[in-house]
């Protein structure tokens, strides 16, 4: 049996991200990950069959040269030949049964990384392409160029670049690093570790769009296990959607039961609405007994009513997303009206927009809508009775959700849900956001730094810039200032001018004028012209 972990955080009155965390081990594997489940081809074969998925790939695979076997991705024949990339992984320490690892870059890879940063600052994707031609397995270049391809609607190439980045990083794994043990940690504060987690996140998005929710769920579990205490990419905001789409209702409800007491998961809108929806789907399963179906339905009714009382601003946008017109009683009631939506704290509005933009399709089922309508009317009876639970929920909304943590903003940026992205605060949107490292942690622990580049004078003349384009080392102003300070600087200036003239002579000597094309048939169609 593979040892797994359960994430558990000391209970507090605040939202989940304000909790102090500790690690708890349980004999029952909750975040159980199988190697096979990380391969999307396995899930596609179950739905469409091996013949439809593989097609004519089998003969080519027999002739393909030997490559390293990996679990996250399968290397393709179209990829460049893989060799040493300069990335390695080291074991930093082992404490409390956890093994902490970190990726490392050797000197050659660091030089390529500096060139990559120059290419990003140039804002020209062609520079990234040139860099990848020379270094086809540079991870950050693959991540950045994948975003460029996705913006240009080339989804296949974007996905291929992400898979190539994952293959590169998996080939650099430490011999003891395991994807499924649940005890291997990668600290997101190390810049070298971020590429792997970001590549997994983007790979997860492509898997979900390809119709492989079960594989995407396993990748989500893997990301949760790499840094469970901090959850730098806030995977808790996505695990509910993947669990429901993969029909893993038992896993999801069990996760909620075991973590709610420590992480207050019900304070996240996605858990507050998705957990009762999972119980409702469980109550519809025919393989359960009538008693089990009845208990699941009661649990679903109780939790959805609590969610509607805690987050009343989510109902009307949800119905609008599902193209459902509420009845006059609900539409005219102040509890779910416009005032409830305008009084929402900014962080809560961000979380609600993210959930609705991502998961509204799960509520379009007529049976789900009928169940939701019944519980909405039950909540209105509680509101009209002015029970104390309403005041408690209002106080919680005012005390919490004023400011979202940095990992929530990072998750919103990576998810690219339009409604949630539009609600990002100005302090986030005002800073430059790079696809290869969005919103880096404020307490980053870099192992090496980029060397300072020589700053060119801001007041250089046009003539000086022209000279520099011919001779990169030429500095007219520097030579002049040196001539003012040193007695022999005139000779240096003369030498610089002589080098400039020699470069200009070489440039003029290499200029070739091409004659205009001549017509070999002067008596052709042009003969009618005078």
Please, which pLDDT band fits residue 506 given cuts at 50, 70 and 90? low
The pLDDT of residue 168: 96
Percentage with pLDDT > 70 across the chain? 73
Tell me the C-alpha distance between 525 and 87, whole Å. Answer: 65
The pLDDT of residue 36: 64
Phi, psi of 490 (to 5 degrees): -60, -35
Average pLDDT of 214-238? 94
Tell me the C-alpha distance between 483 and 354, whole Å. Answer: 63
Closest to 441 (Cα-Cα) out of 231, 200, 236: 231
The owner of tokens 């900014």 is 346
The pLDDT of residue 400: 87
Q: Which residues pair with 7 in a beta bridge?
A: 23
Please, which pLDDT band fits residue 341 given cuts at 50, 70 and 90? confident
Q: What is the pLDDT of residues 303-338, one digit of tens each?
A: 999 999 999 999 999 999 999 999 999 999 999 988
Antiparallel, parallel or unpaired: β 98-105 and 87-95: antiparallel
Q: Are 443 and 366 in contact (CB under 8 A)?
A: no
Tell me the C-alpha distance between 350 and 443, whole Å. Answer: 24
Q: Are 391 and 346 in contact (CB under 8 A)?
A: no
Please, which pLDDT band fits residue 4 given cuts at 50, 70 and 90? very low
Alpha carbon 70 to its chain's center: 22
Average pLDDT of 369-376? 96
The pLDDT of residue 171: 94
The pLDDT of residue 256: 95
Question: Three-class SS of residue 249?
Answer: helix
The pLDDT of residue 200: 97
The pLDDT of residue 338: 86
If one compares 336 and 456, the residue with the highest pLDDT of the two is 336
Sign of CA dihedral 402, 403, 407, 411: positive
Question: Three-class SS of residue 61?
Answer: helix
Q: What is the pLDDT of residues 79-130, one digit of tens each?
A: 999 888 999 999 999 998 899 999 999 999 999 999 999 999 988 889 999 9
The owner of tokens 């609590």 is 306
Residue 259 has pLDDT above 50, yes or no: yes
Average pLDDT, the chain: 81
Please, which pLDDT band fits residue 528 given cuts at 50, 70 and 90? very low
The pLDDT of residue 27: 46
Average pLDDT of 136-154? 94
If one compares 78 and 515, the residue with the highest pLDDT of the two is 78
Phi, psi of 94 (to 5 degrees): -130, 120
Please, which pLDDT band fits residue 198 given cuts at 50, 70 and 90? very high
The pLDDT of residue 125: 85
Antiparallel, parallel or unpaired: β 184-186 and 98-105: parallel
Where does residue 315 rank: exposed (0-12), middle (13-18), buried (19+ CB within 10 A)? buried
Q: Are 207 and 166 in contact (CB under 8 A)?
A: no
Q: What is the pLDDT of residues 17-37, one digit of tens each?
A: 544 333 333 444 576 676 667
The pLDDT of residue 340: 84
CA distances from 8 to 24, 178, 274, 516 (A): 6, 22, 20, 77
pTM > 0.85: no
The pLDDT of residue 185: 94
Average pLDDT of 473-491? 47
Tell me the C-alpha distance between 54 and 29, whole Å. Answer: 33
Q: Mean pLDDT check: name the lowest of 7-21, 291-305, 424-438.
A: 7-21
Residue 269 has pLDDT above 50, yes or no: yes
Tokens of 307: 């969610």
Average pLDDT of 452-456? 62
Q: Mean pLDDT check: name the lowest of 42-46, 188-192, 241-245, 406-410.
A: 42-46
Tell me the C-alpha distance between 480 and 158, whole Å. Answer: 50
The length of the chain is 530
Q: Are 197 and 441 in contact (CB under 8 A)?
A: no
Please, which pLDDT band fits residue 292 given cuts at 50, 70 and 90? very high
The pLDDT of residue 124: 87
The pLDDT of residue 501: 57
The pLDDT of residue 123: 86
Q: Are 225 and 180 in contact (CB under 8 A)?
A: no
> C-alpha angle 93/441/97, rounded to 5°?
25
Residue 78 has pLDDT above 80, yes or no: yes
Please, which pLDDT band fits residue 62 given cuts at 50, 70 and 90? very low
Q: Are 421 and 411 in contact (CB under 8 A)?
A: no
Residue 398 has pLDDT above 60, yes or no: yes
């Amino acid at each position: 049996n593979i040892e797994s972990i359960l994430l558990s955080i000391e209970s507090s009155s605040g939202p989940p991200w304000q909790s102090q965390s500790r690690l708890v081990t349980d004999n029952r594997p909750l975040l159980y990950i199988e190697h096979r489940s990380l391969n999307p081809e396995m899930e596609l074969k179950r739905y469409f069959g091996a013949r439809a998925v593989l097609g004519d790939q089998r003969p080519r695979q027999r002739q393909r040269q030997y490559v390293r076997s990996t679990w996250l991705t399968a290397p393709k024949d179209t990829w460049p030949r893989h060799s040493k990339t300069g990335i390695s992984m080291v074991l930093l320490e082992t404490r409390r049964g956890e093994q902490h690892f970190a990726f490392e870059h050797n000197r050659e890879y660091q030089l390529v990384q500096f060139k990559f940063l120059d290419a990003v600052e140039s804002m020209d994707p062609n520079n990234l392409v040139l860099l990848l031609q020379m270094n086809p397995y540079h991870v950050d270049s693959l991540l950045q160029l994948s975003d460029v391809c996705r913006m240009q609607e080339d989804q296949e190439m974007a996905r291929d670049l992400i898979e190539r980045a994952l293959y590169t990083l998996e080939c650099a794994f430490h011999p003891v690093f395991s994807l499924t043990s649940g005890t291997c940690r990668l600290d997101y504060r190390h810049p070298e570790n971020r590429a792997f987690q970001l590549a997994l996140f983007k790979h997860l998005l492509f898997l979900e769009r390809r119709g492989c929710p079960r594989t995407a769920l396993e990748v989500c579990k893997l990301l949760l296990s790499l840094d469970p205490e901090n959850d730098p990419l806030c995977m808790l905001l996505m695990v509910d959607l993947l669990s429901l789409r993969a029909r893993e209702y038992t896993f999801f409800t069990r996760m909620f039961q075991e973590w709610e007491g420590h992480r207050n998961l019900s304070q996240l809108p996605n858990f507050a609405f998705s957990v009762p929806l999972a119980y409702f789907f469980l109550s519809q399963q025919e393989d359960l007994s009538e008693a089990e179906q009845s208990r699941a339905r009661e649990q679903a009714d109780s939790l959805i009513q609590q969610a509607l009382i805690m987050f009343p601003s989510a109902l009307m946008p949800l119905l609008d997303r599902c193209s459902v017109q509420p009845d006059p009683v609900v539409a005219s009631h102040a509890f779910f009206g416009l005032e409830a939506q305008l009084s929402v704290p900014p962080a809560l509005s961000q979380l609600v927009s993210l959930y609705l933009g991502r998961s509204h399709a799960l509520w379009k089922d007529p049976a789900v809508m009928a169940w939701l309508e019944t519980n909405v009317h039950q909540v209105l009876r509680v509101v009209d009775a002015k029970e104390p639970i309403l005041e408690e929920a209002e106080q919680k909304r005012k005390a919490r959700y004023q400011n979202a943590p940095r990992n929530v903003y990072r998750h919103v940026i990576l998810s690219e849900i339009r409604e949630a992205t539009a609600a990002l605060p100005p302090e986030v949107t005002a800073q430059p956001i790079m696809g290869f490292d969005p919103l880096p942690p404020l307490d980053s622990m870099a192992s090496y730094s980029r060397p300072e580049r020589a700053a060119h004078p801001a007041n250089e003349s046009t003539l000086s810039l022209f000279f520099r384009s011919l001779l990169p080392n030429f500095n007219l102003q520097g030579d002049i200032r040196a001539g003012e300070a040193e007695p022999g600087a005139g000779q240096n200036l003369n030498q610089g001018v002589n080098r400039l003239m020699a470069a200009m002579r070489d440039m003029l000597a290499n200029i070739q004028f091409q004659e205009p094309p001549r017509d070999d048939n002067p008596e052709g169609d042009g003969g009618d012209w005078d």
